[in-house]
Structure 1
Amino acid sequence: MNNITTFNFSMGKEQRNKLNEHNSFVVWFTGLSGSGKSTLANMVEKLLFEQKVRTFVLDGDSLRKGLNKDLEFSLKEREENLRIAAEVAKILVSAGSVVLASFISPREKNRELVKEIIGKENFMDIFVNTPLEICEKRDVKGLYKKARAGEIKNFTGIDSPYEKPINPVIEINTEKEDLENAAKRIVKLLQEKLELK
């Protein structure tokens, strides 16, 4: 690490935000597998796109199919997956995008590390609070069934704990609110931070 020198590029986040006419930051969706995180992130992206906001959706599956395909699901490897996701999100923020990141991110200390990497001023967390029984009933990918059968180890909610966020910027209770309304509520909350010109 001693031989690394940071080059001072002339174009940075500030210049790109000025060109885009909006601020860039990360909206981090956390919740159990099947809670609706990626669906919600996708809906929020569509609404922001209509307002000509530059966005990018990052999610666990897409990262694990490429950049992090060599990582398994031990606690250490899950932490590394989130660290890399945070670094990628940070680069995209610097490039001028509003990043909609959808990751289970089950532990508070991991979410704190993510926030530290990205920068607290560039980070908003959204807790998609869907009870385990509902996520398990949906089981879109068949993962809960495999976890219950012992085919998947360290599966969040089954044999690995999920720590609920202590103080998220916004909490979406999918039992009481449909995703369309939730997406509109999130976008409304983002307006001030975007500072659309």
Structure 2
Amino acid sequence: MPPSSNLLAPVASISRAQREVRNGHRGAAILLTGLPAAGKSTLAQALHAELFERGLQSVVLDGDSLRTGLNRDLGFTDADRLENIRRASELAALLVENGHIVILAMIAPLAQLREIFAQRLGEDYREVWCSASLAVCEHRDPKGHYGRARRGELPGFTGVSAPYEAPAQAALVLDTGGQSVEACLDRLLTWLGECSVLPKA
């Protein structure tokens, strides 16, 4: 059901610009996309911890956490995957508007799904590809999901029975399959400074 035409968005008592001045940085949304076990969540938490140490306002929206809470009513059909991303993009937009750096750790396997983030978040959106080969991710398999998918217990599992479309024009590509978390984090932090998400050191 479409939203009622009688709804009006409330006028914020504190503007985004005011929050960004107080925070000392702009609001932004950074999508870490990649295959399952590519290192997205690990890198997201490492970035979050570093930003916290710098006194910056950030929040992690992890795909697994969203699916056990806000999106627990969704499955893995095409329609449910789309709705999963739509909800995440709306939540990210609210947080960005409040001056946060939003770190999205989500597979977002298809280009059309990532485009939802791009359209909703506009110039606040940054797309980072955590590039790790299927062989590396399957070898890691920290949750045992690849093994279950190979046995046919997890239908529609990305990388095995469902496709992952690698970003054609990611703003940043990180070799999470071959480099350490620390090396990837250093490159990510440098890049975030270069694109003016983070304040100058």
TM-score per shorter chain, which class?
Answer: over 0.9
Q: Which residue of 2 aligns with 1:42?
A: 45
Question: 1:51: how far off?
Answer: 1.6
Aligned equivalents of 1:109, 1:12: Cα separation in 2: 32
Q: Which residue of 1 aligns with 2:178?
A: 176
Aligned equivalents of 1:69, 1:62: Cα separation in 2: 9
Contact 2:38 2:177 in 1 (8 A): no
Instruction: Spell out structure 1 runs of 4+ moving beyond 4 A.
Output: none
Aligned alpha-carbon RMSD (Å): 1.3
5 Å matches for 1:1-12? 1-12=4-15
Q: Deviations over 1:87-109 (max 9, x none)?
A: 11111111211011100000001
How many residues are matched? 196
TM-score by structure 1 length? 0.95
Of 127-136 and 42-51, more deviation after overlay is shown by 42-51
Q: Which residue of 2 aligns with 1:77?
A: 80
**SS of 1:9's equivalent?**
coil
Q: Which residue of 1 aligns with 2:136?
A: 134
Of 53-62 and 185-194, more deviation after overlay is shown by 185-194
TM-score by structure 2 length? 0.93
**SS of 1:77's equivalent?**
helix
Contact 1:30 1:126 in 2 (8 A): yes
Q: Which residue of 2 aligns with 1:193?
A: 197
Question: 1:196: how far off?
Answer: 5.3
2:175 aligned partner, one-letter code: N
Aligned equivalents of 2:12, 2:99: Cα separation in 1: 15
Question: 1:32: how far off?
Answer: 0.5
Aligned equivalents of 2:62, 2:12: Cα separation in 1: 29
Q: Which residue of 2 aligns with 1:146?
A: 148
Contact 1:21 1:196 in 2 (8 A): no
**SS of 2:126's equivalent?**
strand
**SS of 1:8's equivalent?**
coil
Matching residue within 74, 90, 93 for 1:90? 93
